[in-house]
Amino acid sequence: MDVLTGVTVGPPAHGGHCVARVEGRVVFVRHSAPGEVVDVRLTDAGEGRKFWRGDAVVVHEASPDRGPSRWPEAGPGGVGGGELAHLALAAQRRWKAEVVRDTLRRIGHLELDHLGPLVVEPLGEDDAREGLGTRTRIDLVLDAASRPGMYRHRSHDVVPLERMPLAVPAITDADLFAPGRWDGVPPGTRLDVVAPSDGPVVVLADGRPVDLADPARSLAPRREARPRRGRRGSSAPARVAVHERVATAVGDLHYRVDATGFWQVHRDAPAALVDAVLAAVRPEPGQRVVDLYSGAGLFTLPLARAVGEGGRVDAVEVNDRAVKDARRNLHDSPQATLHVAGVTAGVVQGLGSGVDAVVLDPPRSGAGTEVVTALTELRPRRIVYVACDPAALARDLRTAVDHGYDVTALTGYDLFPHTHHVECVAVLEPRSS
């Protein structure tokens, strides 16, 4: 690919790159920082393209925020998932705050100056540890020589790795990258690596549990016993559960979750988000709270504790496995009612009246206009929105504002240091008449 020389880099944009303009053309530049002058190796370009993409490969004028990358393997031409590792953590958080503000303004047409500066909070001891050793879950794939690695950014090429510095120490201690560790395991095998807070590291290869003492042997095809009469055989991998303990403002909470199901990746994220949601909702005994996209019950359980046996929490989740885990996690919380359903306007309307507060933690695509409109029609005193995508958050907040709610608080959380990802917790309250 061609190289553009002496490019002055502009402001950050959602997705982990900065915006540069070269002869009137927009170029999205990764591995850079605002104000730098760099040479850009183009990775996606062409005369017919609306914009180009590239990596900063030579730095002529460096930002004061730049330093040695904490994960060089995720640098230019490397794997995805560490595109800000060359910046100081404080600068990464300023970057994320600027992107969220710009996205809310540009997509949601929301001016939230009344809230003051947007703060992206660090978690736990991240600053002291330089944002390393945070991830309790990583995904790997074996290359053609059965070496563990990750995909090159925007590619299906596997880059073999010798380490993964963003993983928690328990994963590092499992020695997954030792030479020859995966000999005999077919290339292309996908590895899910999980380090739960309670229990040992779990490794699944294409959904099958791995004995790390002898991976190839533990994954070898076995002769299946003849199924008993009346039972159906199944080739589906057995479900593997792990246990998580979360220390929160309402006490220690214990969860059983599917090893490959959704759970917050940062070791401190579950506790940080639970406390943030509780502080935003301010639930009181006897109240009714709705928890949408409730998963295995991360928020449902503390909300149920907070409203007590005289209150009620309605949790809505479409994933059967997650609901099965939630039933276990809430077995001694009769005030929690689980609804196995997709979150739609009809489901929200079916919840009826008398809702004091709503918590929603939608997927990256957001909740959508119809669902948010239905939520506002319930007229809860507070809606607490946990968002993993600024663009979806901007769209959904705009809908709520158009239907009589104001954004009264917004905080960011740095759940993925060294990447562009940022989690936000927004609070909406009915507009005063």
Report whether 242 contacts 388 (CB < 8 A): no
Q: Supply the angle between the helices 300-307 and 269-281 in degrees, to the nearest 10.
A: 40
- Residue 272: what are its φ and ψ, rounded to 5°? -65, -45
Rounded to whole angstroms, what are the CA distances from 343 to 23, 315, 350, 370, 408? Answer: 46, 10, 11, 10, 24
Is the distance from CB of 56 to CB of 43 less than 8 angstroms?
no
Residue recorded with tokens 């969860």: 255
> Is residue 349 part of an annotated ligand binding site?
no
* d(C-alpha 304, C-alpha 307), whole Å: 5
Whether 52 and 3 have beta carbons less than 8 Å apart is answered as no
- The order of strands in the sheet holding 148-151 is 158-160, 148-151, 137-142, 190-194, 202-205, 208-209
For residues 71 and 130, is the Cβ–Cβ distance under 8 A? no
Identify whether the C-beta of residue 329 lies closer than 8 Å to the C-beta of residue 255: yes
The reply to whether 92 sits in an annotated binding site is no
Distance between CA atoms of 230 and 242, rounded to whole angstroms?
Answer: 31
Sequence-ordered alpha helix ranges (H) in 282-331: 300-307, 320-329
Query: Tokens for 183?
Result: 């000999």
Active site residue 424: no
Q: Calculate the alpha carbon distances from 300 to 208, 362, 401 in Å.
A: 30, 14, 26
**388, 397, 401, 422: which one is catalytic?**
388
Nearest to 38 by CA among 59, 12, 20, 68: 59
Whole-angstrom distance, CA of residue 40 vs CA of residue 4: 5
Is 317 annotated as contributing to ligand binding?
A: yes
Alpha carbons 329 and 270: distance in angstroms, whole number? 15
Q: Would the annotation count 143 as a binding residue? A: no
Q: Which residue ranges are tagged as binding site for S-adenosyl-L-methionine?
A: 264, 293, 317, 361
What residues act catalytically?
Answer: 388
Q: Which residue ranges are tagged as binding site?
A: 264, 293, 317, 361
